[in-house]
A = this chain, B = another copy of it.
Amino acid sequence: MPELPRDSVGLVTPQTAHFDDPLALACGKTLPAYDLVYETYGTLNAARSNAVLICHALSGHHHAAGFHSAEERKPGWWDAHIGPGKSIDTDRYFVVSLNNLGGCHGSTGPNSENPETGRQWGPDFPMMTVGDWVHSQARLADRLGIERFAAVIGGSLGGMQVVQWTLAYPERIANAAVIAATPKLSAQNIAFNEVARQAIRSDPDYHDGWYAEQGKVPRRGLKLARMVGHITYLSEDAMGSKFGRDLRTDDLNFGYDVEFQVESYLRYQGDTFSTSFDANTYLLMTKALDYFDPAAPHGGDLARALAPAACPFLVVSFTTDWRFPPSRSRELVNALVRAGKAVSYANIDSPHGHDAFLMPEPRYQAVFTAFMARVARDLGLEDHP
C-alpha cells in the first residue's frame, strides 16, 4: 500500500445523512425527503465549537480532502488547504464538507428516485438556489450537533453560500471566508452559463433531460460546456504561458485534428468531464449561480442586504481571475464596510486566474492560515493532535 502524504487527512469515508422532513424550496416546490452525502476531517471537540463547513463550487462535491483509497491518484479538491498543519488545520478544526442537493455525487439530485413517480427525478428535479442549499446545510449541522460553525468557507459558488449563511443564520456562523466570489453574476457571467446550458440542452442525447432513461449521456454538450468553463477558469496569461501557440505536432496539418496544444488540453478537459459529471446537475448548478443576488430584494443595495450579518469576514480575490475579478470581490468588501461589518480583504497576486482559489499559492496560504489562527484564538480552540 503506497504511503499517504504526512500532511494529508488520510483515508476518508463518505457518510450519508437521510432527512425525512420536507424541504420547502425557493422555486415553490418541496423536496419531500433527501440524502446529503458528506465527509468530515478532524475531531469535533467537546464544546462542539471547532466545526468548519466547506461549501463547494459548480462542479465540486463532498470529497474536499484526503483519499478514498490508497490507490486514489488525486486527493480531494481542496486538499491544498485542508489537513494537519494546513490553512484549515485538521489538528484544530472539525471540517464538514458535503455534496449539495441536486448534485451527482451521492446527495439527492436528478439521478435519485422521485418518490412520487418511482422514476428518476431527471429534469423534474426542482431548481435549487443558494438559499435552499444553505437551508439544507443548516439541517446537516443540526444532525451533527453543531449549533454554530467556527467558520463557513467557500470559493466561487461556494463563496456565495458563505454570504448566504451570514444572512440566513447569522447566529450560527462565527466567521465567514468568501474566496474568489462575487455578490452576484454579471451579464457576461450569465452569458457564459447560458452557452453551457444551450450546449447541453441542444445535444440530441439530452432527450429533454430524460437521457438516463434512454441509456444516453449528452457527452457532446457536457464537453462543450466544460471547454467554455475552462477558458474562464484560467487567466489569459496562464493559458498563454502554459500553451502559447505551441503546436502539438511538428507542423500544421491544415485540418481539424489537434494542431495547437491548447486545443488538445481543452478537448481532454471536456472529454474527462463529460464522462464524470451529470448534465442535469450541471444545468441546475449554473442556474443557482445565475439566481444568487442577495441585494435584489433591497433595491440593489448590497450594504442594506448585508445588515443581518454578524460575523467577521475574510474576502480573498486573485489578480488574474477574470471570471470573478477582484473588482467584483471589492463590491462585497465595500458593501460590508458601508454596512459597518468587520472585513479583511486580500487580493492575491497569482497568474492562475479563477483556478487560483484551489491552489497552494504561498501568500494565499499565509492569509488563509492567519485568518484561521485568529478564528481559533477568538474561540479559544486548542489543537487536537
Seen from chain A, the residues whose Cβ lies within 8 Å of a Cβ on chain B are 26-28, 126-127, 184-188, 190-192, 194-195, 197-199, 201-204, 220, 223-224, 227-228, 230-231, 234, 236, 239-240, 242-245, 252, 254-256, 259-260, 262-263, 266-267, 270, 283, 287, 290-291, 293, 296
20 residue pairs A–B, Cβ–Cβ below 8 Å: A26-B254, A127-B254, A184-B245, A186-B245, A188-B239, A188-B240, A190-B260, A191-B239, A191-B262, A194-B227, A194-B267, A195-B228, A195-B231, A197-B256, A198-B270, A199-B199, A199-B224, A228-B228, A256-B283, A256-B287
Q: Kindly provide the distance from the CB of A319 to the nearest chain B CB, expressed in whole angstroms.
A: 16
Q: How far is the CB of A303 from chain B (nearest CB, A)?
A: 18
In the complex the two chains form, is A186's CB within 8 Å of B254's CB? no
Given contact pairs A190-B260, A191-B231, A260-B290, a sample of 15 additional A-B residue pairs in the complex whose CB atoms are under 8 Å apart: A27-B254, A127-B254, A184-B245, A186-B239, A187-B236, A187-B242, A188-B239, A190-B245, A194-B266, A194-B267, A195-B224, A198-B267, A199-B224, A202-B223, A202-B224
Q: A263 and B204: CB pair below 8 A?
A: no
Known interface pairs A28-B254, A256-B283; A202-B220 also in contact (CB < 8 Å): yes
Contact A255 B127 (CB under 8 A): yes
Of A201, A203, A236, the most chain B CB neighbours within 10 A belong to: A236
Which residue of chain B has the shortest Cβ distance to A219 in the bound complex?
B202
Which of B186, B201, B220, B252 meets A236, CB within 8 Å?
B186
User: Are A266 and B199 interface neighbours, CB within 8 A?
Assistant: no
Count of chain copies: 2
Q: Which residue of B lies closest to A241 (CB)?
A: B187
> Complex formed: what's the CA distance from A236 to B327 in Å?
13
Name the CB-closest residue of B to A193. Answer: B263
Please judge, given known A-B contacts A202-B223, A223-B202, whether A187 and B262 are in contact too, CB under 8 Å: yes
Contact partners of A266 in chain B: CB under 8 A: 191, 194-195
Once the chains bind, are B186 and A240 in contact (CB under 8 Å)? yes
CB distance from A358 to the nearest CB of B (A): 20
Question: With the chains together, A201 CA to B257 CA distance in Å?
Answer: 11
The answer, among B204, B259, B290, B296, for a CB contact under 8 Å with A204, is: B204
Given A254-B27, A256-B283, A291-B252: A223 touches B194 (CB 8 Å cut-off): no
